[in-house]
């Protein structure tokens, strides 16, 4: 079995990046210092997604031996206003183009927000329609659109429309034939109220990226250091191992221990993965 590669979602630095207290080269130096091979880039932190920005990022990553393991987009395809959804589709297409320019082959995609008063049936159809257009645009570009049932994107006002498995899984099943893939997050289950291991078993054949995060059932939104919350990582890793998963494992941490918490999460995740492999 090929081993996995290690990356991170740099959530603990999002506010610093937004406020100009950290720039991308500093972020990449920090990621390199952690011993990671990749970093995920959230489009909301990048501003312009044009060719000049992509060349700069690609150069900075190459200098450090890093890669962009996934471009993290958060389209709001469930928005009740058609014109807003159209704008979200066009913005997501720019994220797809940017991903190709920085040599990344995975783009995270979301269903959108649970807007107040949103009819679930209409919301689901809106999401499917937008996914179909996005997948058609991505077809032939040699990249995967990885669907995550988030709890709530960092930059959103409302929780994810597809947070619960009862909405997420029907969308996945409808889009299997269109080429949709999955970004599996280990701790979204606590916020969504479903069995995360059972959900993984349902979609593991589609998983192209994994977010490793931990939470306590009573702890709310913030992450715990991996291995110190309630997530059953050995069970998750056994499911992935049985499928010979060999993509990226991306550490996602936004707890109170800052960089040390991210560092400890990485060490714990590697240890737990190695123990599962036996």
Determine the pLDDT at residue 2. Answer: 56
Indicate which CATH number applies to the domain containing 180.
Answer: 3.20.20.150
pLDDT tens, per residue, the chain with 278 residues: 458 999 999 999 999 999 999 999 999 999 999 999 999 999 999 988 999 999 999 999 999 999 999 999 999 999 999 999 999 999 999 999 999 999 999 999 999 999 999 999 999 999 999 999 999 999 989 899 999 998 888 889 999 999 999 999 999 999 999 999 999 999 999 989 999 999 999 999 999 999 999 999 876 677 899 999 999 999 999 999 999 999 999 999 998 999 999 999 999 999 999 998 76
Domains held by the chain: number: 1
Q: Which domain holds residue 247?
A: 5-277
Check residue 182 and give its pLDDT.
98
**DSSP code, position 46:** T
Whole-angstrom distance, CA of residue 194 vs CA of residue 197 = 9
Q: Are 162 and 110 in contact (CB under 8 A)?
A: yes
b/e sequence 155-188, b meaning 16+ C-beta within 10 Å: ebeebbbbbbbebbbebbebbeeeebbbbbbbbb
Phi-psi region of 120 (alpha: psi -120 to 50; beta: other; left: phi over 0): alpha
């Amino acid at each position: 079995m090929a081993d996995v590669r290690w990356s991170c979602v740099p959530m603990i630095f999002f506010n610093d990046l937004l406020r100009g207290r950290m720039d991308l080269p500093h972020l990449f130096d920090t990621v390199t210092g952690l011993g990671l091979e990749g970093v995920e880039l959230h489009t909301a932190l990048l501003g312009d997604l044009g060719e000049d920005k992509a060349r700069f990022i690609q150069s900075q990553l190459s200098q450090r031996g890093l890669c962009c393991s996934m471009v993290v987009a958060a389209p709001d395809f469930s928005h009740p206003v058609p014109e807003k959804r159209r704008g979200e589709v066009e913005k997501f297409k720019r994220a797809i183009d940017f991903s190709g320019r920085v040599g990344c082959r995975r783009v995270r995609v979301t269903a959108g927000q649970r807007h107040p008063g949103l009819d679930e049936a209409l919301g689901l159809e809106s999401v499917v329609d937008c996914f179909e257009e996005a997948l058609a645009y991505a077809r032939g570009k040699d990249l995967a659109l990885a669907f995550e049932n988030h709890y709530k994107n960092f930059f959103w006002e409302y929780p994810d429309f597809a947070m619960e498995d009862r909405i997420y899984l029907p969308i996945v099943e409808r889009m299997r034939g269109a080429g949709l893939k999955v970004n599996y997050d280990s701790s979204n289950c606590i916020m969504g109220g479903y069995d995360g291991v059972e959900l993984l078993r349902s979609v593991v054949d589609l998983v192209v990226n994994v977010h490793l995060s931990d939470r306590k059932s009573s702890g709310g939104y913030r992450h715990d250091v991996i291995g110190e919350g309630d997530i059953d990582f050995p069970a998750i890793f056994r499911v992935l191992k049985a499928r010979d998963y060999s993509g990226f494992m991306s550490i996602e941490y936004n707890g109170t221990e800052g960089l040390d918490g991210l560092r400890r999460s990485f060490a714990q995740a590697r240890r737990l993965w190695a123990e599962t492999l036996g």
